[in-house]
Amino acid sequence: MRTEALTALALAGMLVLAGCSGGVGDGTPTTGDGTPTTSGTSSVVITDAAESGVNFYVSDQENAIGDFDHLNVTIAEIGFQRAEGGWSEHAVEKRTVDLTRLQGANATRLTTVQPENGTYTKVFADVSDVNATLTTGEQVRVKLPSEKLQLNSEFTVGANASTNFVFDIAVHKAGNSGKYILRPVVSQSGTDVPIEPVDEELEVEFVDEESVTRGGNATLAVTRDDEPVANATVEIDGERVGTTDADGRVTVTVPDEEKFKLVVKAGDDVADRRVTFEREGDESEVEAEDGTDEREDEDESEGDEDENGTDADDEREENETASDEDDEAESDDEQALNATFVDGVAPGGNATVAVTANGSAVVDATVTVDGDRVGTTDADGRVTVAVPADAEEFEVKVTAGEREAELEAEF
């Protein structure tokens, strides 16, 4: 019997939220191909799903911000200049931030983007609108030196790495004229600036999570600061599956998979989660061990009562049974598939998978990646497959008749 080892992917990140876990007891767990399995129990686990790239934060140096009741700045685009020339530009769905909430180390995440790996020397934020009201209630016009606030700040984007960049904006008062102007602050910007996030985080959890099973229906509850969030959209593996009601709840169909990606969006807030089903224990093995102990106790008792051969007969039967079990286990080992990656595995490259059984190469084994068939093994039991450049993880499944093996690499 093949035992699945399903583990939660504990991924850290500032953009998403703390997870929760619980047990699943009613549903029958299944293997990756949907075949029911009778051993072990499963629990559903929700964890953060971090993305690599640049987390772009906006903050405000305390200059004349104390004059304002609110100072709303709408940013439509950001960009990074490459050290070798050229810009990497990224649209931002016109996100509006109130600078009065972002004084000092307080910062809000504007977006997360994925520029190419390399060194960048300049950063700009394209401001499409400014709406300002003084503490007196008077609305004022705040000028911009240009629509694109730009500053010099060198930083590096690495492969599969997460980088936090703070773009600090300050409002300045022009003498006694009563006029105000926005300027970027180089000294308070960059990747080594302290951050105190002010975003109100979305919280996502399953209702009655003990009843959640693969392939079944489940109800999600979405809250913010313990209050239900209505009209939040829910996506599973990139496909929109529903919208929360007035109570912040929505019922969705759980994929019949070991794990899937869950994304919840409410306005500018996003909760990006990874859901997995984790195997816990094996009840059938425990029962077998208990049964063996009981039989041994009974045999010992019967041996004391009958000294004319009963004990010897029981011992012979036990030895024959153990021999049969050993033969069956050895046969299972001979039939089991073993799959391994040859050399390294990296996003954007190729990965070679070697498939063997009992030390011999397995020819014509079918290989699938993320559910798509990509080839079969050659005479050496090998096949080479492409790894997506943006992969966070890489899953390979190998089947040969009724036998199967799985591989997974995390980046």
On whether the CB atoms of residues 204 and 17 are closer than 8 A, the answer is: yes
DSSP string, 168-223: EEEEEEETTTTEEEEEE-GGG-BSSS--EE-PPPEEEEEETGGG--TTSEEEEEEE
DSSP string, 315-362: HHHHHHHHHHHHHHHHHHHHH--EEEEES---TTSEEEEEEEETTEE-
DSSP SS3 for 146? coil
On whether the CB atoms of residues 376 and 367 are closer than 8 A, the answer is: yes
Q: Please report, for residues 120, 121, 230, 301, the alpha-carbon distance to residue 2 in angstroms, rounded to integers and kept in the order given.
A: 49, 53, 43, 36
- Residue 401 confidence class, pLDDT cut points 50, 70, 90: confident
Q: Please report, for residues 43, 65, 131, 181, 205, the alpha-carbon distance to residue 100 in angstroms, rounded to integers and kept in the order given.
A: 44, 6, 12, 15, 32
Q: What's the CA gap between 344 and 346, in Å, rounded?
A: 7
25-34, 179-188, 196-205, 281-290: range with highest mean pLDDT: 179-188
pLDDT > 70: percent of the chain: 73
Residue 377: predicted pLDDT: 86
pLDDT > 90: percent of the chain: 33
On whether the CB atoms of residues 43 and 21 are closer than 8 A, the answer is: yes
When the pLDDT of each residue in the chain is averaged and rounded to a whole number, the result is: 76
- Residue 83 confidence class, pLDDT cut points 50, 70, 90: very high
For 346, the token pair is 């990296």
Q: How many CB atoms lie within 10 A of CB 333?
A: 10
DSSP SS3 for 258? coil
Closest CA to 72 of 40, 91, 97, 90: 97
Residue 323: predicted pLDDT: 47
Q: What's the CA gap between 49 and 9, in Å, rounded?
A: 8
On whether the CB atoms of residues 68 and 171 are closer than 8 A, the answer is: yes
Residue 334: predicted pLDDT: 46
Average pLDDT score over residue span 145-157: 88
Which amino acid is present at 401?
Answer: G
